[in-house]
Amino acid sequence: MTTPTKAGLEDVVVSTSEICFIDGDRGRLLYRGFDIDDLVEHSSFEEVVYLLWHGSLPTRKDLETHVKALRANRRLPAKLIAMLKALPRKTTPMEVLRTGVSALSAFDPDAADGSREATLRKALRLTAQMPTLVAAWERVRRGKAPIAPDRRLTLAANFLYMMTGRKPTPLAAKTFDIALILHADHEFNASTFAARVTAATLSDLHSAVTAAIGALKGPLHGGANEQVMRMVEKIRDPSGAEAWVRRALAEKARIMGFGHRVYHVEDPRAKHLRRLAVELGRERGNTAAVEILDTVRRVVEEQKHIKPNVDLYSGAAYASMGIATDQFTPIFAISRVAGWAAHVLEQHANNRLIRPRSEYTGPTSAPYNPLDDR
């Protein structure tokens, strides 16, 4: 038995995979061999979903069929909406997503079928339904009726429409689509690993995605984008950013949106999200959030030599679209479900139970005292 030298399985390779490649020294991220910079420039999120699941870019005809199927599966069962209405209004969007995805399995006609074809159909339904679920909760918790999905819109534009009740501007729809592309997969991150561990017991896609959502929720993973925006809200004005971050660092606080287990340079997704946050901020006439984040970044880089990650600028873009801060992590999930599903498919295609060991450091001969003698 070998013992990992570093905690948290750092640098431990647990499996082979053909889905995603990260070069942490050069700051490169590839999905199925394609650089995310090219995918951001030329692809749509729907095309990237196809790429992740099938391993190659679709032909025009394949893409049309795939997009049509995604658009046709957006609606939620009426009983699921009724279930949302029965939840306490204070339930957080991530709790609702975790509960809703688990409940959707009860309505899925392929729930009991673990074949590749059935898992692909479930992945398609879930990827189509999760944006509707996230947007429906936003409406329900505000005491409003959920907005029905619009088949004429892309996944990104339709989500913004269902969320806000307004058709998004072309820039907002494009920005959101790119944000979805950038979050779609990231190798063996914590939530994907949770999904693969679950899938490796030959459990089903909905269970794997529910487990992944639980892992994504934490502030060291997907929850960081929400915490970045809470920081921006606390700082409020760009003029106060430098003093705030210097104080936070002096108090040894962890600054959300910085650092990464794999990247030793800037996360290659951050530059795209910054550019989009700037463009959207300009369109809305408010660039304060990006100005604050730029100052925080300068100080953190100077003092700690820690680089921005994917979560630093995404929230500023979402906030410009009128999205509530506690919805940022669910947005991460409506994109990452594409990657989780790809990993479940890959795990099932060549499965072996994932069952590591721990090095036991507890006592080995504890004398047992019966209850009455303690």
Tell me the catalytic residues.
221, 260, 311
240 scored as a contact of ligand COA (CB under 6 A): no
Burial of residue 360 (CB within 10 Å: 0-12, 13-18, 19+) is exposed
CB nearer ligand COA, residue 64 or residue 302: 302
First to last CA, the chain: 37
Q: How far is the CB of 270 from ligand COA (least distance, A)?
A: 10
Binding piece for ligand COA, criterion CB under 6 A, among 27-35, 159-167, 208-216, 302-310 = 302-310
Site for ligand COA in 305-334 (CB under 6 A): 306, 309-311
220 scored as a contact of ligand COA (CB under 6 A): yes
For residue 366, give Cα distances in angstroms to 63, 369, 371: 63, 9, 15
Q: How far is the CB of 43 from ligand COA (least distance, A)?
A: 22
* Residue that is written with structure tokens 């806000």 in the block: 164
Whether 173 and 154 have beta carbons less than 8 Å apart is answered as: yes
224 scored as a contact of ligand COA (CB under 6 A): yes
Other beta carbons within 10 angstroms of residue 183's beta carbon come to: 25
254 scored as a contact of ligand COA (CB under 6 A): yes
What is the C-alpha to C-alpha distance for residues 226 and 48, in angstroms, rounded to an integer? Answer: 25
Locate 89 and state its tokens. 């209004």
CB nearer ligand COA, residue 71 or residue 307: 307
The count of residues interacting with ligand COA (CB under 6 A) is 16
Whether 325 and 233 have beta carbons less than 8 Å apart is answered as: yes
255 scored as a contact of ligand COA (CB under 6 A): yes
CB nearer ligand COA, residue 270 or residue 345: 270
> Sign of dihedral through CA atoms 152, 157, 158, 164?
negative
76 scored as a contact of ligand COA (CB under 6 A): no
Sheet containing 34-35: order of strands: 20-23, 28-31, 34-35
163 scored as a contact of ligand COA (CB under 6 A): no
108 scored as a contact of ligand COA (CB under 6 A): no
Binding site for ligand COA (CB under 6 A): 8, 220, 224, 254-261, 304, 306, 309-311
